[in-house]
Amino acid sequence: MEGNKLRILELYSGIGGMHYAADLADVGAEVVFSVDINTAANEVYQHNFPQTNQQSRNIESLTAKEINKLKPDIIMMSPPCQPFTRVGLKLDVQDNRCSSFLHLLEVLPNLETVSLVLMENVVGFETSEMRNAFTKTLKNCAFYFREFILSPETISIPNSRKRYYLLARKLADFPFGSENVLITNFSNTGSSLQTSLKGKTLEPYLQENLTDEELARYLLSDKILSKYWRILDVRQKSDASSCCFTKAYTHYAEGTGSVLQHNSNESFHERFAKFKNDEKVEKLKPLKLRYFTPREVANLMGFPDQHFNFPETTSLKTCYRLLGNSLNVLVVSSLLRILLGK
């Protein structure tokens, strides 16, 4: 590492989750180059990291020669998960969205300075052909690796977001676990974790004092309440958990994330008992059931309050989509410290 500063090549950079994780880990790291093809994500990234060399381009255009000029020590990346997700076609390596990752595997043996890799993807990747190709390439390049399935709940964050992670490094094996055995918690990894300072319930992650106008923007419509009340995952401010927020949050009602009872002075069970008698939506209105705001979702995902925000031109739908495609900053930050033995 030049000047003892960790040089990061950030691929599939999205809205900067890996960058924020590296900053939070406080390991003396610098993102020297960042790449993504998603225009909307790049606008958010550049809004928050204007000094970073961030480019909108296809990763398949990157050559070993270009990367070697950057002299990166570590590749941090979150490749497209659609080829492996439970709601996708699961085409695996046959999916066109794997082509850039396959290109990277061809380039990796020719990278002169890269000795560390941190990768995130969806659960399901661990049984894919792409995973087998990836780990085979890592072994051929003399990397040791460990694989994880982790959720933010393991570090006391009240949100479920179970994801696959892989850490790889050269020179020395990891002092814990073994290859081909999935690790499902942070215990015995020997590193300090980046736990949330907000607390274990949802309340500290929520925006305070929403105006009536702001609240109205997030309230569930009568149509949603009457049609989907049976499947809504309703949470209270005092709850210590919430469902994973996906890119389809607010667009689809089922399986895309929790909703919040904004008015905690009302009894949820009493209101729903009255509603079930005649299914008149008015019976539910006092609960003020609403969607979590993008800021609240970002809080649960570890994005810093003061240093992360969306450009004013980013639509609400796009905010949710980009967050749903992102990662938990605190989990990745802890994994980076594990990778470096901190």
How far apart CA 150 and CA 123 sit, in angstroms, is 9
Q: Which of 8, 264, 200 is nearest to 116 (CA)?
A: 8
319 catalytic per annotation: no
List CB contacts of 12: < 8 A, sequence separation 6 or more: 35, 36, 59, 77, 78, 79, 80, 100
| Amino acid making up residue 218 | Y
CB 62 within 8 A of CB 75: no
Q: How open is the CA angle 243-44-54, to the nearest 5 degrees?
A: 120
How far apart CA 5 and CA 3 sit, in angstroms, is 5
- CA-CA distances (angstroms) from residue 188 to 91, 177, 193, 214, 328? 36, 9, 12, 45, 21
How far apart CA 126 and CA 134 sit, in angstroms, is 10
Residues with catalytic roles: 81
